[in-house]
Structure 1
Amino acid sequence: MSERYTDSRVATATGGAATQALATNRLIRNTYILLSMTLAFSAVTAGMAVLTDAPRLNIFVVLGGFFGLLFLTQYLRNSVWGLASIFALTGFMGYTLGPIINLYLGLPNGGQTVMMAFGGTAAIFVGLSAYALATRRDFSFMRGFLFAGILVAFVAALAAYFLQMPGLSLAVSVMFMILMSGLILYQTSEMVNGGEDNYIMATITLYVAIYNLFTSLLHLLGLANE
């Protein structure tokens, strides 16, 4: 009787682990599929903005659009409308990227700078994601540091923008590169270790990390090529 009971508990635990592994793999697969689609859609809207020489949007419009669509996506994350919302968000952010890219394309070696920023962002994202997936290390301890760091960097970015402080702007770009790299490790770890179970929210976090990583790297490379 006890042996059968023990075997039953082992089978239940094994089955539970297998179910959890399947759920984790499904979450990771869906996240990366959706992330690829949103990045592609952003590239399309950014390309449209570049080709039409769209003007740079007012910072308040950008912040209002971003946070408004972000909160809407979070609210709709468990429904099919969450998918529509995340494409609206990433499409909007892609469009805001167009004028920035045009600005750097106008610099000497601007095309090379933009491509280096694309390549560097891709290399950092793939490398950090692969490390977190392969090691399955728990990076949840970074949560508080990332939250505080992103808040400080965001406030510093606003100060650099309104006060026209190039030195602070440079420091903010370095801060965002470090913080977004940490965010990629953290979010990937959360997916692997069960801290995140919604692929829409996981996609948003990774998308924001990639977006800020790219713009920060573009800024640093642009300064180096001036």
Structure 2
Amino acid sequence: MQTQERNTLQHTGVSEVEVSKLFRNTYTLLAMTLAFSALVAFTSMSLNLPHPGLIITLVGFYGLLFLTAKLRNSSWGLITTFVFTGFLGYTLGPILNAYLSLPNGGQLVTMALGLTALVFFGLSAYAILTRKDFSFLSGFIMAGFIVLLGAVVASFFFQMSGLQLAISAGFVLFSSAVILYQTSAIIHGGEDNYIMATITLFVSIYNLFLSLLQLLGIFSND
């Protein structure tokens, strides 16, 4: 296994030292951005700030994502990474307030957080310990993105609880696949930029948490 791994790294021109450094930088930045986003979300909740709305959320999300990708090789990329994750934390605040206003809202949020942590660390540990190459998931991820995008657009015209359930479940599977794919890409040299690796994992965790929260809310009739 180790010999095969060395051959793979040599083939991609990435050394084990570089992979270790990429892992360290990625997970350090991920921990920092998660903490910063949580702080912004708490502030948004405490001030009872309104949700920015769908249009502003989409423009802010994709605009900051594009800017971060463009600046990923400079120190400005770190700044836009925190702006991006902070913005997502701000959008999360009003959503959490809405759930916490429910009779069992605190329990739902706690369960969603626990399940998110369990899924993320479980999938990451599996990819790291087995060192399997999950690059084959790229096709599934692309197809899943297109299907989910179409389903989200359809949900604006057809208000069906079954559709919302399917979308949330789809995002759980999609986010899980992205976590496996991105972790594997770091191991096997498919990703060499820790900022982009951090952003990918952060968005996956964000979507996973929201999807699990919505699923728990649906199953509890909230």
In the other structure, the counterpart of 2:189 is 194
Matches within 5 A, 1:69-218: 69-218=64-213
Q: Distance in 2 between matches of 1:38 and 1:22?
A: 24
> Are the equivalent residues in 2 in contact too, given 1:42–1:94 (CA < 8 A)?
yes
Change in 2 beyond 3 A, CA 1:105/1:162: farther
Q: Distance in 1 between matches of 2:156 and 2:41?
A: 22
Instruction: Compute the displacement of 1:159 (Å).
Output: 2.2
Q: Distance in 1 between matches of 2:179 and 2:36?
A: 20
Q: Give the TM-score normalised by the residue count of structure 1.
A: 0.90
Q: Where does structure 1 differ by over 2 angstroms across 4 or more consecutive aligned residues? A: 161-166
SS in 2 for 1:56: coil
Instruction: Compute the displacement of 1:215 (Å).
Output: 0.2
> Are the equivalent residues in 2 in contact too, given 1:108–1:225 (CA < 8 A)?
no
Task: Output the amino acid matched with 2:208.
Answer: L
Q: Give the TM-score normalised by the residue count of structure 2.
A: 0.92
Q: How many pairs are equivalent?
A: 212
Identity of aligned residues (%): 56
Task: Output the amino acid matched with 1:33.
Answer: T
SS in 2 for 1:143: helix
Q: 2:20 aligns with which of 17, 21, 25?
A: 25
Q: Distance in 2 between matches of 1:223 and 1:108?
A: 14
Instruction: Compute the displacement of 1:184 (Å).
Output: 0.3
Q: Distance in 1 between matches of 2:156 and 2:109?
A: 21
Q: Distance in 2 between matches of 1:32 and 1:160?
A: 35
Residue deviations 1:90-112 (CA, integer Å, cap 9, x gap): 00001001111111111121001
- The alignment's C-alpha RMSD in Å is 1.6
Residue deviations 1:151-180 (CA, integer Å, cap 9, x gap): 211221232145333221110000000010
Residue deviations 1:121-142 (CA, integer Å, cap 9, x gap): 0000000000000011000011
Query: Are 1:48 and 2:36 counterparts?
Result: no
Larger Rg: 1
Q: Distance in 2 between matches of 1:209 and 1:66?
A: 13
Task: Output the amino acid matched with 2:29.
Answer: L
Q: Distance in 2 between matches of 1:69 and 1:46?
A: 18
Q: Which runs of 5+ in 2 are unaligned?
A: 1-6
SS in 2 for 1:114: helix
SS in 1 for 2:15: helix
